[in-house]
Amino acid sequence: MSFFAFFVGLSLANAQTNSSATQEAVPGEYIVKLKDMAAPSGVLNKMQGKLNLKGSFQRINMYHVSLKGGAQDVQSLEDLAADPDVEYIEPNYIFKKSVDDQEGLGAPAQVYEMGEVQAMEQYSAAAASYSQSGAQTKVAEAWAIQTSNSSIRPIVAIIDTGLDKTHPVFVNSNAVWVNSREIANNGVDDDYNGYIDDVNGWNFINNTPNFADDDGHGTHVAGIVVGTSLNILANPITETAKMQVMPLKFLDANGSGTTSNAIRAIYYAVNNGARVINNSWGGGTYSRSLHEAMTFAYSNRIFIASAAGNNGKSNDTTPMYPSSYDVPSNLSVAATTDYDYMASFSNFGSRSVHLASPGVLILSTLPNNRTGTMSGTSMATPFVAGLAALAMREAPFLTGYQIRDIMIAKATSISNLLGKVSSSARVDALRLINEAQVQSAVQASQPSYSPSYAGEARSLASAEVSPKTGCGLVSTALLKGPGSSSGGFNGGGVMAGLFLLPVIVWAVLRQRALEKAKPASDPRRKYERFKMDSDIRVMVGDRELAGSLKTISLGGASFCADEALEKGGIITMKISSPDGKDLVEVQGQVVWSEANQAYGVQFAGAEQSTLSMIQKWTAGLTKA
């Protein structure tokens, strides 16, 4: 099966592939890309009653939808594909670790309980030493020349299986990213980024801020990133990590995730300040929507480290994604041994794989206060990501592309790697940090990038896509539906429980004099909320929508309406008082809440008279 997997492997035998298998996708779910000038409301209004909007990536005009009739709703899919405002449609492919197909799956990690004699005998706990691998990468030497500026701690997004943030390594080094604009556990989206209580990261599978690692892979990867800046085996750890790790969980306990959640994770990382993205996962299927998400990250000057894969094959002839996307800031990483030989399981490629990094028997963190060794390009990649963050700390104004260029240029040439990676080199921490310091005053720059997408022509939206090509555009086989001889999704996947998507709107009313109204009795809420059953009118251009108000507070309001709104559009909201005698009118901009999977309205401000009126209304209302 053409799977996306996280890349852990101890031998070529543990990285077999099954070429006879077919692709998998979530039945009835698609990623829709609109043309640059297309208005989302136009397409969505035409599809009213036929699709549910499940996610929005407005900055790249891309949307995650499900057909209300499920996978068998062929006509709705054909109507959507034929819409002149639609650039392409792609199934929501599944990234998956499979027990039968060992692509990227290695033998179980060798685990040591933290503090066990066996672990301490094998690995040094001296604070100034680096013991996670034995490769001559000169990490400790790089520590000695780094600047002492503690105010710069680049954010590394770990897009993976989650993180055990209670592990002493992350607690003692203060390594986990903190969203300072969000108040923990108050049930409010304080920073208006569409995610409620996302203080440290997000779980895109369950759509919650609980990103606990139920596999161990993400925690191991994060420990390698942090370990590039300090000795995580020191006892006790007294240093603060020189970077922050942002855990973004999109793979579940079985190593399975979806294209839409991978894109959501990348989109979140970009929009919330990540400078580095680590992708220790991948597969042999091409996805244009994922390619576009990577391009979006590049346009925001982010460094991307992507694992080359563990099939022991050439990515020049058999691409592995996302490492094979030609995004200029994307660095494809192969794995080497402590003696600078290419690991037997590692993919390679003289054109498509750029650099090698230690990836055999890497000691790092595991959930439940444990340490253990794993091998794979999954382990080689976060070593590169961590060093990229350290280089950005020395040269904070350089783009991810420039850091990538420096890393390749200053890597150590290894004869064993000639013809295996394009640089014929293994990463060198000391030379990288030295050069970053030299270039700290260089002006930020990066080349323009016009992606060459597979199946770029619109006509290919209805062309046959063989399993060999991986994630393509919607094929005629898929349009034929279940039971057809040409393929398609099986009939058991009809979506159940599909209802008309309500438009949940919260009005963020800027208030100044009434800030003191925050109740002392309930620290979980920024403002007291009150139940309110009132009719409202929402003006969208020259259209007037009817709705019903559900709750109201000085911080906002929520209402329901049976029509999708265009994100970014300006609307006027008219709210009637509970007794119907008064009316307030507020303008705002439509936004999308990823956490609630719904639209909302964010207001730039409100007149004092409006706030006073709302306060008057709430005096006689029941708290929500």
Domains of the chain, start order: 25-95+457-493 (3.30.70.80), 113-438 (3.40.50.200), 515-618 (2.40.10.220)
Residue 334 has pLDDT above 70, yes or no: yes
Mean pLDDT of 426-444: 97
Answer for the pair 158, 251: CB distance below 8 angstroms, yes or no: no
Note the pLDDT tens digit of each residue in 262-317: 999 999 999 999 999 999 998 888 899 999 999 999 999 999 999 999 989 999 99
Which has the closest alpha carbon to 113: 362, 366, 371? 371
Please report how the helices 377-394 and 217-227 are oriented relative to each other, as an axis angle in degrees rounded to 10.
40
Residue 162 φ/ψ region, left for φ over 0, alpha for ψ in the -120 to 50 degree band, beta for the rest: left
* Dihedral sign of CA atoms 258, 157, 202, 162 in order: positive
Of 13-27, 197-211, 274-288, the range with the highest mean pLDDT is 197-211
Residue 464 to residues 23, 375, 460, 473, Cα–Cα distance (Å):
14, 38, 8, 9
Residue 576 has pLDDT above 80, yes or no: no
Half-sphere exposure of 9 (CA within 13 A, CB side): 34
Of 273-282, 459-468, 471-480, 496-505, the range with the highest mean pLDDT is 273-282
3-state secondary structure of 187: coil
Cα torsion through 594, 260, 271, 197, rounded to 10: 40
DSSP state string for 188-231: S-TT-SS-TT-SS-EETTTTBS----SSSHHHHHHHHHHHTTS-
> How much is the pLDDT for 482?
31
> How much is the pLDDT for 173?
97
Residue 492 has pLDDT above 70, yes or no: no
For residues 575 and 214, the model is more confident at 214
Tokens describing residue 169:
């390594």
Mean pLDDT of 358-387: 95
> How much is the pLDDT for 434?
97
Express as a percent the part of the chain with pLDDT over 90: 50
Mean pLDDT for the chain overall: 77
Residue 565 has pLDDT above 80, yes or no: no
Of 142-156, 428-442, 523-537, the range with the highest mean pLDDT is 428-442
Give the DSSP H/E element, type plus range, for residue 266.
helix 259-271
Half-sphere exposure of 620 (CA within 13 A, CB side): 7
d(Cα 377, Cα 342) in Å, to the nearest integer?
A: 11
Catalytic residues, which ones? Answer: 160, 217, 378
Which has the closest alpha carbon to 184: 167, 169, 165? 165
> How much is the pLDDT for 449?
96
Instruction: Please tell me the pTM assigned to this model.
Output: 0.74
Which has the closest alpha carbon to 124: 37, 222, 30, 233? 233
Residue 498 has pLDDT above 50, yes or no: no
DSSP state string for 228-262: TTS-TTSSS--SPPSSEEEEEE-S-TTS-EEHHHH
Which has the closest alpha carbon to 23: 91, 69, 116? 91
